[in-house]
Chains A and B, each alone.
Chain A
């Protein structure tokens, strides 16, 4: 019964959050762009205008036409098809990196909050020492033994962004970990892992949302950079970075081909960043009245969530700081 109720609540809350995002210009832009991205990725699995491996040596570097909407590249392959296929690779990288970042970051965070203080101190210090290592270096260290691959991008970026996530979320998490209700839960015999998942994670949701959305954007940028350097996506695998990198050498002769992948990457990264910001604002029960009412009506106001409202109002300001302490775009 309770499970039913909370599932219904989750649906309603998602609906409300999406709707209020839609009502903002930047939210609408990002939802539209991300929606199209997912749709195109799905379509590209089954259909692209031309086969990826269909090339026409007589019609290389074609200008956009009805036959090839975005023209052809240096091998005569259809640019649009490659970009469509690239979107699914990038979506995969994006989703997996965010997942790795979230898991690794939360594990680190849990380590930093561990009750064994020596352990916590060591993890804080290790993160401090490693935070300045750029993802490209990690990618290089991985790419030398294993060769360039999608997995290298995901591992390197997930590692770097996870460190960053843990470092940024720590002050907030520490505040909650030291609060009365966490202590009382612990003294009532709750397991530390349960407390972490039930109390601390929901309360740092605003930071997590923003950080993960930034990670998602940054990994799209990183993919193009790493692929160009030869330590990203293997050649032959369609990705936007791949499309960008292959057209680079001919930039002076065929500038138009270079335009599309860059434009797509910029749009996607922009909307991922905007999406994180608006999502944070719209999912904050304090500033979103509808959401608060829904929460109230379905009796979801557990102690943790009331607190989460309070924390996130301070968060609205603190978030700026979090933005500030975020690693820059790793390209």
Chain B
């Protein structure tokens, strides 16, 4: 409980820090926000009007407080260029990105964890080596390229095996659940295989260490076969670690997810950010970046809490107890 309170305080502090950082990052621009947004050919008059309109002529602290206050009230602002509410826009994009992330995570765990176990426990050395190689090669493939290979193999129209659409998302979104899901299959599969081979590698190395451990020997001494002992005891002992790693891997893999979204023409968070940055819609970008950062800080929070729950050894340890001086 104390851990939860402290970790939440840390999360809030991190959110505050990130918001300041993002705010400042947009203010160190050569020139200023208004002139960038107005474009290269804008007249000074237009820039001045824009400054006025966006409240950019106030002091930085005042601007920051306004922005932060709006965010706390759930108001992410309105895009000056498109006139749309940023919050609504993010919400509609999240409906694509989030299912894609979840589906990819699910597939990668389904792919990585069992094969990771098999790469340690398979009775044929060839199978074990093959899976190890798969993990190494799979982890070295750029997401962009992997996705393209998938398109070449499976996509409707041009692939060798015409099954899944490779472009776009139904216009009316999840109102057509069938075709929406189908359009996510290939992207999710790509994410799944690429992240899955990382997870395969982690599972493999964690279990390899367990294989020779006394925990597993103890399980065997109690009457398990080696396979049973590794799966029932070894896997459980490394679960907290694996959860942390999978969480962080996934956070890191968001680059891949953005690339894949773009490549498959899915209007998700990634393509939204790229478009808005391209349009120099900076105040929108500011809110979007903050939402994204908040999302990942929350992932870190959840992963830490899960780790605590899964590992009884940490339950009584304080958040800061492990810090020590030389």
Direct A–B contact in complex, judged by CB atoms less than 8 Å apart:
yes
Assess whether B255 is in contact with A132, with CB atoms less than 8 Å apart: no
Known: A129-B10, A129-B13, A145-B29. A228 touches B297 (CB 8 A): no
Which residues of B have CB within 8 Å of A1?
none
Known: A125-B319, A229-B258. A328 touches B277 (CB 8 A): no
Assess whether B324 is in contact with A178, with CB atoms less than 8 Å apart: yes
Known: A133-B296, A273-B140, A325-B241. A266 touches B145 (CB 8 A): yes
- A115 closest partner in B (C-beta): B325
Assess whether B293 is in contact with A324, with CB atoms less than 8 Å apart: no
Known: A129-B13, A134-B296. A230 touches B326 (CB 8 A): no
**Assembled-state Cα–Cα distance A136/B8 (Å):** 25
Assess whether A140 is in contact with B273, with CB atoms less than 8 Å apart: yes
**Assembled-state Cα–Cα distance A128/B10 (Å):** 9
**Assembled-state Cα–Cα distance A266/B152 (Å):** 18
Which residues of B have CB within 8 Å of A128?
10, 300, 304
Within 8 A of B (CB), among A240-293: 241, 244-245, 248, 251-252, 255, 258, 261-262, 265-267, 269-270, 273-274
| Chain B nearest CB, measured from A250 CB (Å) | 11
Known: A224-B144, A229-B262, A248-B263. A129 touches B25 (CB 8 A): no
Q: Does B253 contact A (CB under 8 A)?
A: yes
Assess whether A137 is in contact with B296, with CB atoms less than 8 Å apart: yes
Assess whether A321 is in contact with B25, with CB atoms less than 8 Å apart: no
Assess whether A124 is in contact with B320, with CB atoms less than 8 Å apart: yes
Q: Does B303 contact A (CB under 8 A)?
A: yes
- A272 closest partner in B (C-beta): B140
| Chain B nearest CB, measured from A292 CB (Å) | 23
**Assembled-state Cα–Cα distance A255/B150 (Å):** 12
Q: Does A144 contact B (CB under 8 A)?
A: yes
Interface centre among B22, B202, B325 (most CB of A within 10 A): B325
Which one of B11, B152, B208, B255 lies within 8 Å of A135 (CB-CB)? B255
**Assembled-state Cα–Cα distance A225/B274 (Å):** 12
Q: Does B141 contact A (CB under 8 A)?
A: yes
Q: Does B245 contact A (CB under 8 A)?
A: yes
Known: A140-B289, A331-B143. A131 touches B202 (CB 8 A): no
Which residues of A have CB within 8 Å of B137?
266, 270
Which residues of B have CB within 8 Å of A70?
none
- A167 closest partner in B (C-beta): B248
Which one of A112, A178, A182, A329 lies within 8 Å of B253 (CB-CB)? A329
Q: Does A99 contact B (CB under 8 A)?
A: no
Within 8 A of B (CB), among A315-331: 317, 320-321, 323-331
Within 8 A of A (CB), among B175-201: 194-195, 198, 201
Assess whether A132 is in contact with B289, with CB atoms less than 8 Å apart: no
Q: Does A102 contact B (CB under 8 A)?
A: no
Assess whether B244 is in contact with A129, with CB atoms less than 8 Å apart: no
Assess whether A330 is in contact with B255, with CB atoms less than 8 Å apart: yes
Assess whether A229 is in contact with B274, with CB atoms less than 8 Å apart: yes
Interface centre among B30, B144, B256, B258 (most CB of A within 10 A): B144
Which residues of B have CB within 8 Å of A252?
151-152, 155, 157-158
- A121 closest partner in B (C-beta): B323
Assess whether A144 is in contact with B241, with CB atoms less than 8 Å apart: no
Q: Does A207 contact B (CB under 8 A)?
A: no
- A222 closest partner in B (C-beta): B255
Q: Could you tell me how many residues of chain B have their Cβ less than 8 Å away from some Cβ of chain A?
A: 80
Q: Does A174 contact B (CB under 8 A)?
A: yes
**Assembled-state Cα–Cα distance A124/B18 (Å):** 17
Which one of B22, B157, B241, B282 lies within 8 Å of A321 (CB-CB)? B241
Q: Could you tell me how many residues of chain A have their Cβ less than 8 Å away from some Cβ of chain B?
A: 74
Annotate A118-156 by CB proximity to B: 1 below 8 A, 0 otherwise: 001100110011111111110011111100000000000
- B15 closest partner in A (C-beta): A129
Which one of B142, B143, B303 lies within 8 Å of A132 (CB-CB)? B303
Q: Does A92 contact B (CB under 8 A)?
A: no
**Assembled-state Cα–Cα distance A143/B250 (Å):** 22
Assess whether A270 is in contact with B256, with CB atoms less than 8 Å apart: no
Q: Does A221 contact B (CB under 8 A)?
A: yes
Q: Does A116 contact B (CB under 8 A)?
A: yes
Assess whether B145 is in contact with A261, with CB atoms less than 8 Å apart: yes
Annotate B255-292 by CB proximity to A: 1 below 8 A, 0 otherwise: 11011001100000010011001100010010001001
Assess whether B144 is in contact with A225, with CB atoms less than 8 Å apart: yes
Q: Does B106 contact A (CB under 8 A)?
A: no
Assess whether A228 is in contact with B25, with CB atoms less than 8 Å apart: no
Q: Which 3 A-B pairs have the closest CB atoms?
A: A132-B300, A328-B249, A262-B145
Interface positions of B (Cβ within 8 A of A): 10-11, 13-14, 17-18, 21-22, 25-26, 28-30, 136-137, 139-145, 148-149, 151-152, 155, 157-158, 194-195, 198, 201-202, 205-206, 208-209, 238, 241-242, 244-245, 247-256, 258-259, 262-263, 270, 273-274, 277-278, 282, 285, 289, 292-293, 296-297, 299-300, 303-304, 319-320, 322-326
Seed contacts A131-B248, A177-B326, A320-B205; 15 additional CB < 8 Å A-B pairs: A120-B323, A125-B320, A134-B252, A140-B273, A142-B25, A174-B322, A225-B144, A241-B144, A269-B140, A324-B205, A324-B206, A328-B249, A329-B198, A330-B256, A331-B259
**Would you give 27 A-B contacts (Cβ < 8 Å), ordered by A?**
A113-B326, A125-B319, A125-B323, A128-B10, A133-B251, A133-B300, A134-B252, A134-B255, A145-B26, A196-B326, A221-B143, A222-B255, A228-B144, A229-B274, A248-B263, A251-B151, A252-B151, A252-B152, A266-B137, A321-B209, A324-B242, A324-B245, A325-B248, A328-B195, A328-B198, A329-B252, A331-B259
